[in-house]
Structure 1
Amino acid sequence: MKQLYALLLLFALNGFSQTIALQSFATGFNSPVEIVNAGDDRLFVVQQTGVIKILNANQVTNPSAFLNISSLISTGGERGLLGLAFHPNYATNGYFYVNYTNTSGSTVVARYSVNASNPNLANTVGTILLTIPQPYANHNGGTLRFGPDGYLYIGMGDGGSGGDPGNRAQNKNELLGKMLRLDVDNGTPYAIPAANPYAAADGADEIWAIGMRNPWKFSFDTVDGNLWIADVGQENVEEINKVPVGDGGYNFGWRCYEGNSAYDTSGCAAQNTMTFPFATYSSAGGSGNCSVTGGYVYRGTAYPNFVGKYFFADYCSDKIGMVSSTGSISYSSVLPGGGFTTFGVNASNELFVASQNNGVVYKVVDTSLGVNDVEKSPFSVYPNPAHGTFAVHSGTGAFPLQITVFDISGKKLLSRTIESDNENIDVSGLSSGLYLVNAQDNSGMPSVSRLVIE
């Protein structure tokens, strides 16, 4: 019997392929461009219009804004409130950072703080850390992230217009077309990390890497610390870069190269000094693609087949892609909403995505987990995913059933006997994730099903 159970367990974990789908989580947002968590069960949804809203775990959005700086920003096209990052010590210092284009169109990075008496409200006066003039209205970048080294990383586009005519991305004295890194815990208003590549050399001290076109979205893998940067292409190639944080000094190639292909190599450094993409896909005419929206490496627990894969979307194709550990890409079918502008993760590292087209925040799910693992099994679990309780349906009406719940390592967590289909089994004490449910009738024959608890 133990051998049979082990075989069923192996089948339950490996006998299926992931299927990317979306579940509507919350509606009513206006041009969502960022989803961030602050280490608790809330999601903070950044709207390009200058408003940050709080989305609670019960899928209810607070009626009042967490922060409204609409009077400070210019909007339209690629301008607006674009980025949000909470300080690693936010729980104690209350600091968070935003990236927006001001009324002059310049990029501003500013620090704000939470209201001391109301965690759902921010103080309305911030401190500007950095202002960067923008020559055009597009290619503003916008994402802010704290790295595993505790420094604040800022993605800056090349300033806009076609083909980077000012060759800013390759100019080490310009902050446009770069990844910047700041020490916001020291200095006034910040200090330069000593390991920044130009901190003690010719070049702008804030620069961590050069050669970016428009790194609209980037993120850090919470397991290995690698930085994933999705850089929007010019005409033909969308690129995804993966690098260790380290000391930086990378040259990601633009405008010399678009992805792996030469674009304008006049006056460029040697090719072997460039860091080429980990993965690329076509956005050439007829492909249906136009602009990569970078996401995250999935590190949640609900969908084991997603673990370790990097998720991204394309703004025009309305598909979500996954990059494997070898750099190969697989895609979902066309998904609802479309116009995907941002991904986000909650404190449990479950994945969300937002549509600019309809203002909906979706949860990214693996629908293959919603079916019984053993296709011909007479038993099935429902609802799946479960919230607090679940029940077991017997297609043959064979009761009583001995029900045992295991985690995916095979550890038994609970066991009970049920007499009918409508008996709820309490799993409220179990954390969110994937479990295995073993149902045995009087003959002792086991049937294993997957159960997702949310």
Structure 2
Amino acid sequence: MKTKLFLLSLFITGLAQAQVIELELFASGLDRPAEIVNAGDSRLFVVEQTGRIQILNANGSVNTTPFLNLSTMVSGGGEQGLLGLAFHPDYETNGYFFVNYTDLNGDTVVARYTRSSTDENVADATSAIVLLTIDQPYDNHNGGCLRFGPDGYLYIATGDGGNGGDPGNRAQNKDELLGKILRLNVDAASPYIPETNPYVGIEGADEVWALGLRNPWKFSFNDGNIWIADVGQENIEEIDKVVATAAGVNYGWKCFEGTAVYSTDNCSLVEMYTQPVAEYVHEGSSRCSITGGYVYTGTMYPNLQGKYFFADYCTGEIGMVDGSTLSWLGDFSPNITTFGEDMNGELYVGGSGSVYKIKDTTVGLNEFADSAFSLYPNPAKNDVTITLKDGSDSGLASVFNVSGQLVLQEHLNSGDTKINTSQLQAGVYMLKLQVAGNGYNTKLVIN
């Protein structure tokens, strides 16, 4: 069950006004969460690096039986294990989902599984169809993230194969599958190669979509773009952003670490290397390794919309990219290994055996005292009164529960509007107000 609020708050500047970010403990007792995804419904699926996929329900409870258990098939420890999960865009109908793991030999496997025909909360463990295997020269830099793109194809992130400094120059080798983003058409017959992949019919591996990556630890799609968080070698962590339809993009590793030259060996003088949209350095801090996230697309927190969120594994800091400006939102303590989003676009992080929900608890675009309304009482019981100020003659009040579900909505008139809240259970809610073209958020407590 959901526990009481786990508040880790920090006031920062850089948004419209002061902003508060919190992490709310959503679920605990998990084993090294490496991925959090949804299947188009209220459940969250948590990939444990040790080999299990667990289901989190909307109230934060964990199902007793794992959705899938591959613990006897995956290599454990370090950067190996079960690393990726993606549900087919037509999952509701066909039941297909895809996993990325390192097998007992340490090599990468991408396989398709099918949901049980009798129970939506478990998978058919005998249904595996292996799409791709990749030999791994070392036990680190395996990538592992899987996402379906807006084109319906499956995208696969692979690291450069490991050790340090990419000794085999695999990331820049177009014939290698390591250090790349690969793209497969999983709805076609084997070998699943889209005809529009950039190296089909010419020199280079047919599966390759993009190259020049060191260890992309999570990528995501938003509004026609792909965002990639690429872990640096010693000094620089980078965030890449390009149009999702751009084929054959070279992100530069190992010729570049971020925007800095790393090596000139086997680096072309004419190659068009794509620089990151944002980066950060380790110097003067304990930062060490980026964890990529998502652009916020939810509705509960208007201040966060359109901004990309990421974290540093070592410090537990959550960062944000707005345009090309990178800001740090503070140290939130757990070693954040993954982000996730639910069906409504609300964001979560996983780390240290737990999953947390990201929350913005500010009033919104203005400080509460200066806003275009007043609200009383708060905490409330049977009703709450909202008074519009400054001549505003209309507005809209929307109340969301902690799972992001809309539970109450009322139109506001000039002056006082009394809203009946007696049907709401006791607890903490988010009240979103839209007044005179502005958005405001505040907590609403029901006793």
Normalised-by-shorter TM-score class:
0.7 to 0.9
**One-letter code of the match for 1:436?**
L
Quote the offset at 1:58 in angstroms.
Answer: 1.3
Q: Using the alignment, how far apart are the partners of 1:75 and 1:300 within structure 2?
A: 35
The within-5 A match list for 1:63-142 is 63-125=64-126, 126-142=128-144
CA contact (8 A) 1:107 1:134 kept: yes
Residues 1:158 and 2:160 aligned together: yes
Once the two structures are superposed, residues 267-309 of structure 1 have per-residue CA deviations (whole angstroms, 9 ceiling, x without a partner) of 212366101101000123x321100000000000000010000
Query: Taking structure 1 as reference, are residues 449 and 233 closer, same or farther at Cα in structure 2, changes over 3 Å only?
Result: closer
| 1:331 equivalent in alignment to 2:319 | no
State the match for 2:262 in structure 1. 263
Q: 5+ unaligned residues in a row in structure 2: which ranges?
A: 1-14, 387-393, 400-408
**2:184 match:** 182
Is the partner of 2:411 in helix, strand or coil? strand
DSSP-derived class of the 1:28 partner? coil
Q: Distance in 2 between matches of 1:118 and 1:453?
A: 37
**Contact 1:99-1:107 at 8 Å conserved across structures:** yes
SS at match of 1:120: coil
1:282 corresponding residue in structure 2: 281
Superposed CA RMSD in Å reads: 3.0
SS of 2:330 mapped into structure 1: coil
SS for the counterpart of 2:300 is coil
Q: Deviations over 1:200-252 (max 9, x none)?
A: 2111000001100000110001xx12000000000000000001111411010
For 1:377-411, what per-residue CA distance to the aligned partner results, in whole angstroms no more than 9, with x for missing partners?
A: 87445459xxxx875389xxxxxxxx985369xx9
Q: Secondary structure at the match of 1:295?
A: coil
Unaligned runs of 5+ in 1: 1-13, 395-402, 439-447
In structure 2, the residue matched to 1:7 is none
Matches within 5 A, 1:226-375: 226-270=225-269, 273-284=272-283, 286-325=284-323, 327-336=324-333, 338-355=334-351, 357=352, 359-369=353-363, 373-374=368-369
* Identical columns (%): 53
Following the alignment from structure 1 to structure 2, what is the Cα–Cα distance between the partners of residues 226 and 433?
A: 30
- Tell me if the contact between 1:406 and 1:412 (Cα under 8 Å) persists in the aligned partners: yes
Question: CA deviation digits over 1:131-166, x for unaligned, max 9?
Answer: 100000000001000000000000000000110011
**Aligned equivalents of 2:199 and 2:341: distance in 1?**
33
Q: Any conservation in 2 of the 1:169–1:178 contact (CA below 8 Å)?
A: yes
Q: Which amino acid aligns with 2:225?
A: N
Match of 1:6 in 2: none
Q: Which has the higher strand share?
A: 2
Structure 1, residues 13-43: CA drift from partner, whole Å, max 9, x if none? x974332221111111110010000000000
Higher normalized helix content (fraction of residues): 1
State the distance in 2 between where 1:216 and 1:113 align: 26
Q: Secondary structure at the match of 1:119?
A: coil
Cα pair 2:363 2:440 within 8 Å, conserved: no
User: In the alignment, is the contact (CA less than 8 A) between 1:159 and 1:176 conserved in 2?
Assistant: yes
Task: Report the alpha carbon displacement of residue 259 of structure 1 after superposing the two structures with TM.
Answer: 0.4
Change (3 A) 1:333 1:391: farther
Which of 388, 392, 395 pairs up with 2:384? Answer: 392
The 1-side partners of 2:440 and 2:294 are apart by 29
Aligned length: 405
Q: Once the 2 structures are TM-superposed, how far is the Cα of residue 360 of structure 1 from its aligned partner?
A: 1.2
After alignment, is 359-368 or 150-159 more displaced?
A: 359-368
Letter in 2 for 1:348: N
Letter in 2 for 1:360: S
SS at match of 1:332: strand
In structure 2, relative to structure 1, the CA distance for the partners of 1:450 and 1:366 (3 Å cut) is closer
Q: How far apart in 2 are the matches of 1:267 and 1:381?
A: 68
SS of 1:273 mapped into structure 2:
coil
Residue 369 (structure 1) shift: 3.7
What corresponds to 2:53 in structure 1?
Answer: 52
Q: CA deviation at 1:330?
A: 1.0
Structure 1 counterpart of 2:24: 23
| Alignment TM-score, normalising by the size of structure 1 | 0.83
Q: Is the alpha carbon distance of 1:304 and 1:164 closer, same or farther for their aligned partners in structure 2, counting shifts above 3 Å?
A: same
CA distance in 1, matches of 2:80, 2:332: 26
SS of the residue corresponding to residue 241 of structure 1 reads strand
User: What amino acid is aligned across from residue 332 of structure 2 in structure 1?
Assistant: L
1:305 counterpart SS class:
helix
Report SS of the residue matched to 2:303: helix
Using the size of structure 2 for normalisation, the TM-score is 0.84
Query: Could you tell me how far 1:121 is from its partner in structure 2?
Result: 0.5
